[in-house]
Every structure is written in structure tokens, then in C-alpha cells.
Chain A
Amino acid sequence: MTSAEIREKLKNKTVGVAGCGGLGSNCAVALARVGVGTLILTDFDVIAESNLNRQYYFLSQLGEPKAAALKRVIHQINPSVSVIAYEIRLDPEHILRYFKDCDVIVEAFDQAGEKEMLIETVLSAFPEKPLVVGVGMAGWGMNESIHYRRSGNLHICGDETTEISSDIPPLAPRVGIVANMQANVVLDILLQS
């Protein structure tokens, strides 16, 4: 497939990204660069200086809501992407409402409990919809532990082990690897369909 054929195939596709932190911002930017037609972004948070060690934002954006800020970043890269940004803390009802027409959903939350809520909601409500989750990417090194596996429409990226803590923070390289791995899985799903 040529780049033009890929763009043509992707322009009618919609991807939902739940969370615009380290995973969501990097994954959404990768999807925008390759030309996914519509991105639905959700995040309740604002950009803090501590986020810049891994999240796709700039010093000039400190204090801005992440979803809206990410929309502006994406439009500086690829203005043809249609971006819908919601400043909300996603709950099961929102997931049903905002993600029901997505071709693929990307789980890009920070907290394990929120990840669990999103996965349970999507698997129950949309059992046919592909869901790409990121689990385990704290620390540095350990390239060999990062992997991809699949259970039906649930696609899992990460090391499934490392939990963030004060001694094992999330850092740009491993978070970026998992975020781009998620984008790579999304691309594979969209180009197969």
C-alpha cells in the first residue's frame, strides 16, 4: 500500500482516545500524522510542568486543558484531521455516548481502576469493537519486557508488570514506546478493515 492509499483508507476512520496523558497524547499524534480522519479525545486534566517528561505538550501550554491543547498540537501537524475534544472525566455513560461510532478505542488512562472500568464497559457494551490498551510502562530500560498480545478484540500493549511509584516514574522513552505500539496496532486494525 502506498502512502496515498493508506491516507485514502484512513480518512474515513474514527478512533476514540480515552485519556490525553503520556499514552494518549503520543498515540493520538502518531495517528494524526498517518492521517486517521477523526480523533475523539477525552481528558479532565490540565497540563502541568511535571507532565512534560513524557506527554506531547509544550511549556507555552501549561495550565491548559489537555484535550483542547492536544487538538491544537494535532492541527499544527495535520490540519486535515477532524478532532473532537471533550474535557470530561470519562464514566461508563460517556463511553457509550462518545465512543459508540469509533472504529477502534484506545485506552490511555493513568490509574489502574480507570483502566479496569473502561475495559469492562467496552467489552460489555461493544463486544465487537477493537480496544487497544496500554498496561505497564513505568521506569526505563527493559525493552525486552514490552510486548503485544491479544484476546479477541482486546489488544494489550506494555510489560503488564511495572507499576508507577516515586522510585519508578513514567518516563518519555517507555511511555512513548507503548503509546506508539498502541498506534501501530490501531493502524493495523484500520488498514485490515
Chain B
Amino acid sequence: MKDNGIRKDLKMKIILNNTPEEFDQEIITVDELLKLKKFTFKMLVIRINGNLVKKDEYNTALVRDKDDVMVLHLVSGG
């Protein structure tokens, strides 16, 4: 569904790791975001608008339109 090049069917626009992303849903949990993006990493640090989201909040913390989300995947080595 395109109208003058602007997709109106996409409801939520966020910044994910400094890149614009669009989703059909109006609001999703962090868990849903990870599933949609197929992020299956075990060791993660997530921030929404600069605020840390703890692991036990992934199923309740919400991602909304215009949010700035950072997902950092931690890998071993140092």
C-alpha cells in the first residue's frame, strides 16, 4: 500500500542501532522486537531512549513509535 512513496500501513518507526526501522505493530515488547528481528543472542545489553532494560523486563518493556533502541550483542574475547 503506497501513497506518494510513503507507506501508510506501517505504524511504528523507530531507530534501531542508529538505523531507521519500521514495523506493522503500533507497540511491541522488547521480546517481540528481538523475535521480529531474529536476534537470538544470549548475552545482550538493551537500551530504550538511553534507559537500560533489564533481562527480566524484556517481556514487559515496550517499544513505541519514535523510540531510539540500542541492542548490543556481547561476544567473548579481550
Contacts and interface: CB of A to CB of B under 8 A. Distances in A.
Given A116-B43, A151-B70, A154-B47, A161 B52 contact: no
Interface string A125-147: 00100000111111000000000
Contact of A162 (B18, B52, B74, B75): B75
Interface residues of A, number: 36
B5 interface: no
Contact of B78 (A152, A160, A175): A175
A110 B76 contact: yes
B75 A161 contact: yes
A19 B76 CA distance: 13
Interface residues of B, number: 18
A67 interface: no
B78 A134 contact: yes
B45 A123 contact: yes
Interface string A62-106: 000000000000000000000000000000000000000000000
B78 A170 contact: yes
Contacts of A137: 77-78
A151 B45 CA distance: 11
B72 interface: yes
B77 A164 contact: yes
7 contacts: A123-B52, A135-B73, A137-B78, A151-B47, A151-B50, A164-B76, A170-B77
